[in-house]
Amino acid sequence: MTALTHRLAASLLTLAVPFAALLLPAAALASGAERLAERLEVNGQQMPVASVHETPLPGFYQVRLETGEAFYSDAEGKFFLVGDLYENGEGGLTNLTEQSRNDERAEQLARVPESERVMFRTTAESRAKIFVFTDTTCPYCRQFHEEVPKLNEMGIEVHYLAFPRAGMNSQGARILEQIWCADNASEAMNAAKREEALAGSGDCDNPVESQYHLGMAVGVQGTPAIVLPDGRLVPGYVPAERLADMLGLAE
């Protein structure tokens, strides 16, 4: 009888453990990434964590701070690695860190409302959409703008975002604010790229400053800065044919 009692007790204990786990508070069942985000601190100060994601490297997570900086940490937040993580696969080396940057960059730009972009759409079937951080005082931006009609003919939409390269107190910032405040922003962009003076005011509620900070957050250092649909950042002037090739649309 005693042996039977022991077996019953053991069986009940086996059942009770998973049942008890169901009753644990959500914090106790949080994922490793969530637990790491809560405990990350340096010198007793909580780190401003924006996101934590698992990586293919066992026991390590990618941490992105609200400042845009990223690094890797073990599950306890004791060891940090700064730099790019590569995967050595059959196709060669793949920069997993850069892939992550591209994905996040694409997501951030997709959240910009269309009403806050200056868009040059294609009249043909749309085959791709690129974002371009621009400054009308930049000669290479003016040169790139000459390629826009050709890009549109190829089915490539151009969505401009503002990036006054000399800062918010520059002439470039004031012109961009005039463009974004204009009744017809695309026509104002065309005129500014032809170096024509704009008559309108730049005193409306406009997104130029927020887009300037967004550009810095996603890695823009100069203009033009082209962002492809997969989030890749292409700095500088690129001819239409070369862009089409990069987008896989070359004929």
Q: Of 86, 107, 128, which residue sits at a domain end?
A: 107
Looking at the structure, tell me whether residues 122 and 240 fall in a common domain: yes
Alpha-helix runs per DSSP H in 113-184: 139-145, 148-153, 171-181
> Does position 6 have pLDDT exceeding 70, yes or no?
no
pLDDT of residue 186: 97
Instruction: Decide if 155 is inside a domain.
Output: yes
Q: Of 107, 137, 166, which residue sits at a domain end?
A: 107
Looking at the structure, tell me whether residues 122 and 234 fall in a common domain: yes
Total tally of structural domains belonging to the chain: 2
CATH number, domain containing residue 63: 3.10.450.70
> Does position 10 have pLDDT exceeding 70, yes or no?
no
> Does position 64 have pLDDT exceeding 70, yes or no?
yes
Q: Of 39, 74, 107, which residue sits at a domain end?
A: 107
pLDDT of residue 67: 80
Looking at the structure, tell me whether residues 50 and 136 fall in a common domain: no
Instruction: Decide if 125 is inside a domain.
Output: yes
Instruction: Decide if 12 is inside a domain.
Output: no
Dump pLDDT digits (tens) for 69-123: 889 999 999 999 999 999 998 889 999 999 999 999 999 999 999 999 999 998 8
Looking at the structure, tell me whether residues 218 and 122 fall in a common domain: yes
Dump pLDDT digits (tens) for 132-165: 999 999 999 999 999 999 999 999 999 999 999 9
Domain housing 61: 22-107
Instruction: Decide if 200 is inside a domain.
Output: yes
Q: Specify the higher pLDDT residue, 2 or 144.
A: 144
**C-alpha distance from residue 225 to each of 144, 165, 222 (Å):** 10, 11, 6
pLDDT, mean of residues 191-206: 94
> How many whole angstroms separate alpha carbon 175 and alpha carbon 18?
64
Instruction: Decide if 212 is inside a domain.
Output: yes
pLDDT of residue 30: 56
> Does position 251 have pLDDT exceeding 70, yes or no?
no
